[in-house]
Structure 1
């Protein structure tokens, strides 16, 4: 039998490797947050240049907070789906509780931004439409966190329906067919979260199982088989939302149209990377995770661009102005 002393160096090495991986993950997270902040602050301004559209107050801050909300949903829903598709073997530590708390903080932060931009106190802000919806989102995340803390993980996704519903209504405050837009977003948002969060969880599983190529690739195969459904929902709802909200005559003359073109190009790149990863996976190559990692990075950029789309002016104003001319 192997003595406990002989196992100690192995445990120490694993602990050092775990600490090193944790530090690297923290650095990557900080870099990602700073990159998202810079992208959020610059993208809307660049897209609106030369369009004559007025800048939306606190657009950058709102974009960052909305991005956190969507990513929190992605981590939570991705882990829920990932536990079912990961198959046998070691699994990464759950991040859903931290994601739910971050989502609640981001929703509460948007209430503060709303009160500041509107020059009203918090009590008045809570009584507005946006304030009520944001409070509902914050409470939904907190209820989800409570379910996780009480070891009721199967109940945790239910309060997130409130978050998705409230965010869907907030993303479509326009006067024309707002309920149709909200219904499309109610389907679009969870699908995007499942695609992004499911891929994140799968890559974390693959990292833990990297010593066994077949086991690691099996986790990617299981994810790939289910990812087709969120992709199909995203394609249908995304196309319908774009045709509903973006007049064709201002595709190049409005911030919304330019951002939508950028988002379409990014999604095309994501799909190409997904196909590359699937091709390598079918050939049994463990480096299939490399294009999948880039795919995940692009999905985060797509999330930021999507958040910017919710804070740029309605493109119908530009279309009306051009029609008057």
Structure 2
């Protein structure tokens, strides 16, 4: 196109149109991946909801164990608490691995507020099932620990809002300590169980939350495959230590908590078996993603997304373990027979 004499209008610049066309083409190419991610997230959310609300009932079927009041509601709230802790710790851990480049919006403040709400709701559930008022519930051991957890989450949310994310480690450590004391009340060496949980819980949270943060960062940097792969590689190196801690503390907790004669005859044993199967699937997926990454093959992020979905299910099953009855009771009953 040429300008006619006396026409002072400049020729149209084709560059903006070209950039717009490329953006439309890129969005069109990404739509299938977005749909797959949304479908996977929805399936994981529904799975977590079903496991949390109904998982404890089938596990206790035929064991003769007493029904735990509001077990489904409590499990769901504890799952929300675990996931909130995972998101916050994951963002803190991945902050140094992000390096230069764009970063996704932080979810830590919202996650901490969700954790505080889940803690507060558990106090209300405690009051309801115990047929006491809230003031009395606050005075119980569980009520005091839940109140500490709620305030710890609120303090962590404040640190995130004030853009001092590193300071959130202090209140989050208090949250983990309170949950460790409350998660597995027992008559036998309770401090050993609390110490194992104090190590086990943050390791699980780092594995889950770190992977979530890494996948969000990869998606934001998807235009540069090398940068995206570097993010997943950094997470893979970070995840080795949480996996080792989980294996050691999980094994020791199982040996302490579960008598060998009721592995499949108690709700705790059945739920633990389901958790171990899911953890084995997660480990296989993590290994597959790492192999793809080391060999320079595509699809590592897709495998990691499936791994994250299964980890969410593991969190829900772990929450059930803190609600089902102590298996030593049924072991003693079988011994009497």
Q: State how far apart, in whole Å, the 2-side matches of 1:31 and 1:108 are.
A: 27
The residue number in structure 2 matching 1:186 is 198
Tell me how far 1:39 sits from its aligned partner.
Answer: 1.2
Tell me how far 1:286 sits from its aligned partner.
Answer: 2.8
The residue number in structure 1 matching 2:325 is 313
State whether structure 2 residue 255 is matched by structure 1 residue 243.
yes
The residue number in structure 1 matching 2:8 is none
Give 5+ residue unaligned stretches, structure 1: none
Distance 1:25 1:116, change over 3 A: farther
Give 5+ residue unaligned stretches, structure 2: 1-12
CA contact (8 A) 1:213 1:286 kept: no
CA contact (8 A) 1:69 1:106 kept: yes
Find 1:216's aligned residue among 228, 240, 253. Answer: 228
Q: State how far apart, in whole Å, the 1-side matches of 2:291 and 2:85 are.
A: 29
Distance 1:275 1:12, change over 3 A: closer
Tell me how far 1:114 sits from its aligned partner.
Answer: 0.3
CA contact (8 A) 2:40 2:306 kept: no
* Cα displacement string for residues 267-286 of structure 1 (whole angstroms, at most 9, x for unaligned residues): 11111111100000001123
The residue number in structure 2 matching 1:199 is 211
CA contact (8 A) 2:47 2:313 kept: no
The residue number in structure 1 matching 2:70 is 58
CA RMSD of aligned residues (A): 2.5
SS in structure 1 at match of 2:95: helix
The residue number in structure 2 matching 1:127 is 139
Tell me how far 1:33 sits from its aligned partner.
Answer: 4.0
Distance 1:154 1:283, change over 3 A: same
* Cα displacement string for residues 171-225 of structure 1 (whole angstroms, at most 9, x for unaligned residues): 1211111111000000000000000000111111111122221111111111111
Find 1:260's aligned residue among 238, 259, 272. Answer: 272
The residue number in structure 1 matching 2:57 is 45
Tell me how far 1:11 sits from its aligned partner.
Answer: 8.1
Moved more, 65-74 or 146-155: 146-155
CA contact (8 A) 1:103 1:138 kept: yes
Q: State how far apart, in whole Å, the 1-side matches of 2:250 and 2:299 are.
A: 31
SS in structure 2 at match of 1:84: coil
Larger Rg: 2
Find 2:88's aligned residue among 76, 82, 106. Answer: 76
Q: State how far apart, in whole Å, the 1-side matches of 2:229 and 2:64 are.
A: 51
State whether structure 2 residue 319 is matched by structure 1 residue 322.
no
The number of aligned residues is 325
Find 1:107's aligned residue among 119, 142, 146. Answer: 119
Distance 1:83 1:283, change over 3 A: same
Q: State how far apart, in whole Å, the 1-side matches of 2:201 and 2:167 are.
A: 20
Tell me how far 1:27 sits from its aligned partner.
Answer: 7.8
Distance 1:214 1:34, change over 3 A: same
TM-score, L = length of structure 2: 0.89
* Cα displacement string for residues 115-136 of structure 1 (whole angstroms, at most 9, x for unaligned residues): 0000000000000000000000
SS in structure 1 at match of 2:290: helix
Q: State how far apart, in whole Å, the 2-side matches of 1:290 and 1:18 are.
A: 13
The residue number in structure 1 matching 2:282 is 270
SS in structure 1 at match of 2:166: coil
The residue number in structure 1 matching 2:311 is 299
Moved more, 27-36 or 313-322: 27-36
